[in-house]
Chain A
Amino acid sequence: MNRFAGVTGRYVYLTVQGVEYRVYFEEAGSGTPVVLQHTAGCDNRQWRHLMEDTELAGQFRLIAADLPYHGKSLPPAGEQWWTTEYTLTEEFLLAFHVALADALELERPIYMGCSMGGHLAADIALNHPGRYRAVVGIEAALHSHGMERILPWLYHPEIGNDTKPAIMFTLCSPESPERFVRETAWVYSQGAPPVFKGDLEYYMVGHDLTDTARNIDTSAIGVWILSAEYDWSAPPTAGAQLAAEVEGSHFLPMPGMGHFPMSENPERFREIILPILREAALLGQEAVVSG
C-alpha cells in the first residue's frame, strides 16, 4: 500500500509592501493555527518532521511558507530583482507574516520560528501582539551583532554553495542523529547564492531589540524563548538575555540540542515543543472567554 504524507502544498498570491509575490506554503493538521518560519537561506522543508507528526497535526493547523526567493517561492515576476542584491529587512518580514495570516484567515495564530525566524518571534511580539496569541522564538536573541564581517564570504564568486551547508553543519549538536544533520545541511546547499547573506543582513545587522524588548507586553501575547546548548550563533546566554528583558516570558534551555532542533533532532524536539504549543493555544482560549 502506498504511503502518503499528511501534508499539502499550494500557492497564495500576497502583496507585500506594494509588490505581489507568489508564495508557496504547506500545511497539515487542524486546530489552533501555528505559522512556522524557516531559518535564513533555507525553506519550509526544515519543518517536515513536525508537519508529519500525527499527534501535533491532530491538535494544530501547521502552516509553513517559503519566503519569497526561498524554496518554491520565486522572486516577484513584476520586479527587476536581478538589478539589486537581495536583502531581507525586518519591515518586509513583519509585513509578509501579517499578509500571510490575513490571506489564510488565521484567527490569532501561534507564530514559531527558528534563528532568523526566532529573532522575528520577538519582533512580532513587539509589533503585532494583537494579531498573534503567542510566539515561540527558537534560538532567539536581542541581537546577533559582532560577526558581520563574515557576510561577504557568504556571497562570493570564488566560494561555492558547499560552504554554507558546511558552516551550518557546525551549528548542529554532536548528539543529533547524523542522517538528520546531513539533511539539515543539504537543504542549505540548495538556496539561491545571494539569499543566505541577504537574510543574514536582517539576522546579524537589522534585528536589535536591545532598547525595545522590555516593551513587549506578555499580557497581550505569550512569549517563549528556546535556546540550544550547542548553538554557537545564538548561545543560551543570548536567549537568556532576551528573556530577562521580556517580563513574563518563558525561557527554556535545550540541553544537547543544536541550532536547528526541529530538523536535526526532530524526535527530541517534538517532546519539547508539544507542551509549549498546548499551553500557547490556551492563551487564545482565555482571550475568547474573557473577551
Chain B
Amino acid sequence: MEINEDRLREALNADPEFRLQARFWNTQFRVVTDTQNLLVRLVDGEVVTVDTAATPFDTWDFQLAGTDEHWGALLAPVPPPFYQDYYAAMLYHGFRIEGNMKMIMAYYPAIRRTREVLAQVVAGQEVAI
C-alpha cells in the first residue's frame, strides 16, 4: 500500500467535511505504515505539507500507526468489524492512535474523517479540487 503525499494533501484540503472540522487547527501528525512515515502539517486548518522524509527528530502531536494489514482493512470499501474507525481498530486490532489525547479528542471529528479521505486516496479516486 502506497499513500501518495501530494494526493493526500490535495484530498484533505479538498474535502469539505475535513476542512470544516479542522478549522483553527495547527498541528503535525504522523501517518505510519510498514513502509511510510508521513508527517502531515496543518496551519490554521489547511494541510501545508505532507513530508515523506520524517525523522525521529521531528515533533508531532499524535500519530496514526499500523501495519499494512491494519491499513488495508481500515481503508477497505466496507471495513471488517472494528476496522470502521481508528479508535475501534486500536481497541480490538492493535492499531495505534496515540499522542496528545486532548488534541485527539478535541479534533476527533477531523481525525475520523481522515480515514475516509485516505481510503479515497489509496483507491485512486479523483478528489474534488
A residues whose Cβ falls under 8 Å from a Cβ of B: 153, 156, 158-160, 162-163, 165-167, 169-170, 172-175, 229-230, 232, 235
| Interface pair B84/A170, CB less than 8 Å apart | yes
> A229: which B residues are within 8 A, CB to CB?
81
Contact A153:B85 (CB < 8 A) given known A162-B109, A167-B108, A169-B112: no
- The minimal Cβ–Cβ distance linking A154 to chain B, given in whole angstroms, is 8
Instruction: Please tell me the size bucket of the interface on B.
Output: 10 to 19
Hey, which chain A residues are within 8 Å of B79, CB to CB? Answer: 174
19 CB-based A-B contacts, threshold 8 Å: A153-B102, A159-B102, A159-B105, A159-B106, A162-B108, A163-B105, A163-B108, A165-B109, A170-B88, A170-B112, A172-B84, A173-B84, A174-B78, A174-B84, A229-B81, A230-B81, A232-B82, A232-B88, A235-B81
Evaluate contact between B84 and A162: CB separation under 8 angstroms: no
Residues of A within 8 A of B81 (CB): 229-230, 232, 235
Evaluate contact between A160 and B106: CB separation under 8 angstroms: yes
Task: Given A169-B112, A232-B91, check contact A158 B102 (CB 8 Å).
Answer: yes
**Bound complex: CA of A162 vs CA of B113, how far in Å?**
13
Contact B108 A166 (CB under 8 A): yes
Number of A-B contacts (CB under 8 A): 52
B92 at the interface (CB under 8 A from A): yes
List 16 other contacts, CB 8 Å, given A162-B21, A230-B81. Answer: A153-B101, A156-B102, A159-B102, A159-B105, A160-B106, A163-B105, A166-B112, A167-B87, A169-B85, A174-B78, A174-B84, A232-B82, A232-B85, A232-B91, A232-B92, A235-B81
Nearest CB to that of B104 among chain A residues? A153
User: Which residues of chain A are near B84, meaning CB under 8 Å?
Assistant: 170, 172-174, 230
Does A166 lie within 8 Å of B88, measured CB to CB?
no
B82 pairs with A156, CB closer than 8 A: no
Given A169-B112, A170-B88, A232-B91: A163 and B106 interface contact (C-beta under 8 Å): yes
Whether B78 and A166, one on each chain, are in contact in the complex, defined by CB atoms closer than 8 angstroms, is no
- Within the assembled complex, what's the spacing in Å between the Cα atoms of A20 and B108? 38
- A-side contacts of B101, CB under 8 Å: 153
Residues of chain A within 8 A (CB-CB) of B85 are 169-170, 232
| B116 to A: closest C-beta gap in Å | 10
**Cross-chain contact of A158 among B88, B106, B112 (Cβ < 8 A):** B106
Please give the distance in Å from A17's CB to the nearest CB on chain B. 33
Residue with the highest number of chain B CB atoms closer than 10 Å, among A162, A163, A167, A174: A174
Chain B residue at minimal CB-CB distance from A255:
B81
* Cα distance, A167 to B88, chains bound together (Å): 10
